Amino acid sequence: MGGYMKLIICEKPSLAKNVAGALNVRDWKDGYVESDKYIVTWTFGHLLGLKEIKEYEGFENIRWNDITSPFVPYTFEYKVKNDSGIKNQLKIIRELLKNKNIESVVNCGDADREGQLIIDNVIEYCRYKGKVERLWLPEQTQETIREQINQMKDNKEYEKLNLEGKARTYMDWLLGINLTVHLSNKSGVKLRVGRVIIPILKYIYDREIEIRNFVPEKYYRVENEKNIKLISKLKLDKEKAQEKIEELNLHKAKVVSITEKEIKKQAAKLFSFSTLQSFLSEKYQIPFAISSIVIQKLYEDGYLTYPRTNTEYLANNEKEKIAKVIDKIKNDYGYLDIRIRDSKRIFNDLKIESHSAVTPTVKLPNIFELEDIEQKIYKTVLDRFLSNFINEECIVLEKEMLIKVGEEKFSISGKTVKQLGYLKYESEGFTDKVPNLNVDDEFDIDFKVVEKITTKPPRISESNLSQYLKNPLRKLNNIGTDDEEYKQILEGIEIGTEATRTDIIETAKKMGYISQEKNSYKLEPLGEKVIEILNKLQINLYAEKSIEFSKILKQVYTGAKTIDEVINITREELKNIFSKDIEIEKISKDKEVIGICPLCSGNIYQGRTKTGKVNYYCEKYKEGCKFTLWENIKYYKEELKITKDKAKALLKKNGKAKFKINNKEETLKIEIKNHQGNTYINLKKF
């Protein structure tokens, strides 16, 4: 090694490989690669983590029951993760930092708060005191890497990202560790919780309770199938519906007006990380956990810009870069109908926090050489890009026909495409349902009563949850316009971040709090327990409180608050929680859940009375639930024995079990009867 060199510390080996390739650094060693100008090394994401309570001096042998809450360290201390590969790589970095030929160290973490903190923490942990620069890469193409290496800024200019990252880490540690200890001590089982996972669980819990409490109701509509389909929007009872059809069928239907207008339709905005994931989930049923990995790979391969962005806009200073991407797409892919468009719907600095929307880069893949899922994701981003930069406007003819039957009005509308525009790349399947009639035309009708039934609300989908976490106030306060939404984002009014939400949801699944069926989430009994325990302990860390914390963390970024102030705010919040000396019933570790109570949805356990009789009872019996299913039960003149397996079968949704009665096998189900205020649990034929 000779001369003055820069030591570039990359967040991942894949990024190091791209940086080394772009800078012509070719001499590979153990844990780094070098040339006469650069040494490029890497971390594996987080090499360091905050110590646990038992790892602080004086707390080595403490039991959770003996911890004085809240536990707040005098100084937060980091430890090296317990992995031989990580320990060896940190040792290599430490030795490289001692190299006297190093002129400066370059922080080349991912271009976000987390990436900034990962490399800063390593530099601080190794006690390096020299010059540090920042290589900020919005994409990983060779052209961008070579361009940005000559435009590096002092790492101190990114200090506010570091401070916000530290504040977030400390707050999440304090809330997560202290609340996990508190809930676990109170409940008797380990329940891991945190600032973001709690509002996620609560959102899914609320919908689950809504579904559980849903009672289907019949209603009636009046509909005509003769000649042209006409449907009244009125929801009626059967008697009123019958009266309505008798009234309508006295008349003929008459076309009273036909209106047509041409409208210019705009393409959907470019993708943020969450809107891209939602689109892929809804169109291709690609789970967020999978799309997150594949999108990241396409970014690391240099095909997409930095993906974990919360905006759908581009910066004004990116117009030249986008023009180059457009030219490359024209030349390589042959899409000749696109051009740079200087529109505020695309370029808007006011709606960007740090990263622009996800777009293709000048490095274009051979799409047919990509894996199937990579093709779908890349083509999705490419098509949205093409839709926004196509030369031609999309013109749609909207048509509405107003039909009158007596005094009742019916509207039929349709759309036809006059000029494709962006629909060439993202079709929307418009249909023209307007019949070929003229004003004053009449036709016969024959309205009938049609029975309908209300449907229960659907489970929370991946895209529902993603939209809620990104803009929780949309649901709470009906905030809806684009300007308002981006104002909220820039103020930190969100739950979690684009970079962390998918991982936190996966953690909730691993802990058994929720499960996933296709692209929807289902609350599991343990997740329900967590929310019930939080409610009993009067711990409200739901959406409003989580938003409050997010705003406080954003104030660290803007300089309005310090890390110490955040720690003190969190400490006071925890003190307030722990000051409520509320005792709750411990969760039994030994009890096996036999099923779900058909009366109140509590857990059913097997029990035994003082006289030795076995039954299957509801955990909520102290709260008044009357469900008890006895092991020995009368069925007409027969006495049947309900074994544990039969009880499990009976307590399933639409549950049934087979019993031998009079030497014949019969299938029975549970019957619940109420008589004079008493509840009776029997069996009846399925």
Identify residue 46 by its one-letter amino acid code.
Answer: H
Kindly state the percentage of the chain with pLDDT values over 90.
66
Question: What is the rounded distance in angstroms from the CA atom of residue 121 to the CA atom of residue 52?
Answer: 17
Q: Looking at residue 482, what is its pLDDT? A: 61
**Would the pLDDT of 403 be above 50?**
yes
Q: Looking at residue 52, what is its pLDDT? A: 92
Q: Looking at residue 488, what is its pLDDT? A: 54
Q: Determine which of 16-25, 393-402, 565-574, 650-659 has the lowest per-residue pLDDT on average.
A: 650-659
Identify residue 250 by its one-letter amino acid code.
Answer: L
Identify residue 253 by its one-letter amino acid code.
Answer: A
List of domains in the chain: 5-46+81-151 (3.40.50.140), 167-212+460-578 (1.10.460.10), 218-266+394-453 (2.70.20.10), 273-389 (1.10.290.10), 595-685 (no CATH)
Handedness of CA 607, 609, 610, 612 (dihedral sign): negative
* Residues β-bridged to residue 658: 667
pTM of the model: 0.78
CB 277 within 8 A of CB 462: yes
Q: Looking at residue 479, what is its pLDDT? A: 45
H or E segment to which residue 666 belongs:
strand 664-675
Distances (CA, A) of 159 to 164, 252, 354, 617: 9, 75, 14, 58
| Distance, first Cα to last Cα, the chain | 83
Question: What is the rounded distance in angstroms from the CA atom of residue 293 to the CA atom of residue 267?
Answer: 27
Q: Looking at residue 487, what is its pLDDT? A: 54
As given in the structure block, the two tokens for residue 670 are 């549970």
As given in the structure block, the two tokens for residue 405 are 């039957």
The torsion region of residue 85 among left (phi > 0), alpha (psi -120 to 50) and beta comes to alpha
Distances (CA, A) of 204 to 273, 464, 496: 22, 10, 16
Cβ neighbour number for residue 404 with a 10 Å cutoff = 15
H or E segment to which residue 113 belongs:
helix 113-125
Question: What is the rounded distance in angstroms from the CA atom of residue 232 to the CA atom of residue 411?
Answer: 10
| Banded model confidence at residue 1, pLDDT cuts 50, 70, 90 | very low
Q: Looking at residue 525, what is its pLDDT? A: 87
Choose among 320, 319, 308: nearest CA to 358: 308
Computed on alpha carbons and rounded to an integer, the radius of gyration of the chain in Å comes to 32
Q: Looking at residue 518, what is its pLDDT? A: 84
Distances (CA, A) of 56 to 53, 79, 98, 101, 171: 6, 11, 29, 37, 18
* Residues β-bridged to residue 10: 42, 108
Identify residue 156 by its one-letter amino acid code.
Answer: K
Mean pLDDT of the chain: 90
- Measured in degrees and rounded to the nearest 5, phi and psi for residue 82 equal -80, 75
H or E segment to which residue 255 belongs:
strand 253-265
Cβ neighbour number for residue 317 with a 10 Å cutoff = 10
Identify residue 597 by its one-letter amino acid code.
Answer: C
Give me the sheet containing 408-419, strands edge to edge. Answer: 408-419, 394-405, 253-265, 442-443
In the block, tokens 């409208």 appear at 263
Angle at CA of residue 299, ends 293 and 304, nearest 5°: 125
Question: What is the rounded distance in angstroms from the CA atom of residue 682 to the CA atom of residue 627?
Answer: 11
What is the per-residue pLDDT across 257-292, written as a single tens digit (0 to 9) for each? 999 999 999 999 999 999 999 999 999 999 999 999
CB neighbour class for 258 (10 Å; exposed up to 12, middle 13-18, buried from 19): middle
Q: Determine which of 81-90, 142-151, 281-290, 603-612 has the lowest per-residue pLDDT on average.
A: 603-612
What is the per-residue pLDDT across 329-354, written as a single tens digit (0 to 9) for each? 999 999 999 999 989 999 998 888 77
What is the per-residue pLDDT across 3-49, written as a single tens digit (0 to 9) for each? 589 999 999 999 999 999 999 999 999 999 999 999 999 999 899 99
| Banded model confidence at residue 611, pLDDT cuts 50, 70, 90 | low
Choose among 319, 313, 328, 315: nearest CA to 268: 313
Question: What is the rounded distance in angstroms from the CA atom of residue 465 to the CA atom of residue 463?
Answer: 5
Identify residue 333 by its one-letter amino acid code.
Answer: Y
For 648-668, what is the mean pLDDT? Answer: 86
As given in the structure block, the two tokens for residue 672 are 């619940």
**Would the pLDDT of 655 be above 80?**
yes
For 86-102, what is the mean pLDDT? Answer: 95
For 606-628, what is the mean pLDDT? Answer: 83
Q: Looking at residue 151, what is its pLDDT? A: 95
Identify residue 533 by its one-letter amino acid code.
Answer: I
| Banded model confidence at residue 2, pLDDT cuts 50, 70, 90 | very low
Question: What is the rounded distance in angstroms from the CA atom of residue 533 to the CA atom of residue 584?
Answer: 8
Distances (CA, A) of 518 to 274, 286, 500: 18, 9, 21
Question: What is the rounded distance in angstroms from the CA atom of residue 467 to the CA atom of residue 641?
Answer: 50
Handedness of CA 229, 230, 232, 237 (dihedral sign): negative
CB 51 within 8 A of CB 20: no
Query: Given 3-state DSSP classes, what are the helix, strand and coil percentages for the chain, each rounded to the nearest 5?
Result: 40, 25, 40
Helices (H), 511-643: 525-536, 543-558, 563-578
**Torsion of the alpha carbons at 562, 563, 568 and 571, rounded to the nearest 10:** 150
**Would the pLDDT of 142 be above 60?**
yes
Choose among 263, 278, 283: nearest CA to 393: 263
What is the per-residue pLDDT across 501-511, written as a single tens digit (0 to 9) for each? 888 999 898 88
CB neighbour class for 61 (10 Å; exposed up to 12, middle 13-18, buried from 19): exposed
**Would the pLDDT of 608 be above 50?**
yes
Q: Looking at residue 671, what is its pLDDT? A: 85
**Would the pLDDT of 483 be above 80?**
no
